[in-house]
């Protein structure tokens, strides 16, 4: 008589996700992103090192442009004594006021022209004519009309902001698919409901493109505006440094302009991702 086999333990169901490992493709993709991010910093680092070496060897004279380490030390000193912070605050205030005025004008005119044929006939021709003018060439007229205070600087920024926002918002409104408008009419939506549920979502993507463009023009306009009869701000600091051949201060001011532009663009890109999260 054969011996009975010992009872086998009952199988325990595996827990969900037990034994799973991270997909190789995900790991490879994340490593690839990190490596690509590091590679993008290689060339700027090499440029800075070569620049420093050439400056230390006297190949690049200090009168032409200061060495990176000297620029870094100057930036630290300007931050420590409050000069850079005060100048940056003044410039940011000018951009904020000019952008607010220009955005209000550009978006309002785009809505008027985009929602009505009569509004388009009244608004679009002068806007198309004015946008072809180099608005930096209007600085002498702005000074004659508004004096040498803050108003012409803010007006120059506002003019630079208004046209990209107007053109992109107007284009976004007019490029909305007519099928959506017909569907809204079929559903007996009021005019305000059509604007809220059809026009605004349809125009937002293009308007955000105009927002990014207008912010870039705003900082460019500010740089020019602050070099004309300014007594404060980053442009004044750069002009004052130019008179004394302080290239380190000039580079610090330009670097701050660049950083501010990148920060504002990153804010708009974040806003764009959140506002357009419904898109695939």
- The Cα 25–Cα 14 span in angstroms is 25
Please state, in angstroms and rounded to a whole number, the distance separating the CA atoms of residues 198 and 176: 8
Tell me how long the chain is: 280
User: Hey, CA dihedral for 162, 167, 172, 173, is it positive or negative?
Assistant: positive
- Helix, strand or coil, per DSSP, at residue 224: helix
Determine the pLDDT at residue 27.
Answer: 59
CA distance 7 to 54: 82
Burial classification of residue 161, based on how many CB atoms lie within 10 Å of its CB (0-12 exposed, 13-18 middle, 19 or more buried): buried
- The answer to which of 103-117, 137-151, 180-194 has the lowest mean pLDDT is 180-194
Q: What is the mean pLDDT of residues 166-171?
A: 91
CA distance 199 to 176: 7
pLDDT band at 207 (very low <50, low <70, confident <90, very high): confident
Answer yes or no: are the C-beta atoms of 101 and 154 closer than 8 Å.
yes
pLDDT in tens, 214-254: 998 999 898 888 877 778 889 889 988 888 888 999 999 99
pLDDT at 169 over 70: yes
CATH architecture of 71-275: Orthogonal Bundle (1.10)
Query: Long-range CB contacts (< 8 A, 24+ apart) of 234-239?
Result: 234/87, 234/88, 234/90, 234/91, 235/91, 236/87, 237/83, 237/84, 237/87
Q: Report d(CA 97, CA 233) in Å as an integer.
A: 14
Tokens 């290239």 belong to which residue? 247
**What band does 1 get if pLDDT is binned at 50, 70 and 90?**
very low
Give SS3 for 160.
Answer: helix
User: What does the domain layout of the chain look like in residue ranges?
Assistant: 71-275
Q: How confident is the model over 37-63, as pLDDT tens digits?
A: 777 778 888 888 998 898 888 888 888
Two tokens, residue 211: 């927002």
pLDDT band per the 50, 70, 90 thresholds, residue 2: very low
């Amino acid at each position: 008589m054969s011996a009975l086999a010992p009872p086998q333990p009952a199988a325990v169901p595996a827990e969900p996700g037990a034994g799973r490992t991270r997909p190789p493709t995900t790991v490879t993709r994340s490593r690839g992103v990190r490596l690509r991010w590091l590679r993008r910093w290689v060339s700027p680092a090499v440029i800075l090192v070569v620049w420093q070496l050439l400056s230390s060897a006297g190949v690049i004279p200090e009168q032409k442009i200061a060495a990176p380490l000297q620029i870094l030390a100057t930036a630290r000193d300007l931050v420590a004594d409050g000069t850079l912070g005060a100048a940056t605050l003044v410039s940011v205030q000018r951009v904020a006021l000019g952008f607010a005025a220009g955005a209000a004008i550009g978006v309002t005119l785009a809505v008027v022209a985009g929602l009505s044929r009569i509004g388009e006939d009244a608004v679009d021709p002068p806007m198309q004519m004015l946008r072809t003018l180099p608005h930096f060439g209007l600085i002498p007229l702005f000074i004659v009309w508004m004096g040498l205070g803050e108003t012409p600087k803010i007006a120059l920024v506002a003019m630079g902001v208004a046209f990209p926002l107007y053109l992109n918002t107007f284009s976004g409104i007019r490029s909305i698919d007519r099928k959506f408008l017909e569907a809204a009419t079929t559903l007996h939506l009021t005019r305000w409901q059509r604007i809220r549920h059809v026009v605004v979502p349809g125009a937002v993507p293009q308007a955000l493109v105009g927002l990014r463009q207008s912010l870039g023009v705003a900082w460019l306009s500010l740089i020019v505006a602050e070099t004309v009869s300014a007594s404060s701000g980053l442009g004044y600091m750069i002009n004052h440094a130019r008179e004394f051949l302080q290239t380190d201060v000039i580079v610090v001011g330009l670097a701050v302009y660049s950083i501010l532009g990148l920060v504002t663009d990153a804010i708009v890109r974040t806003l764009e991702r959140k506002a357009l999260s419904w898109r695939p």
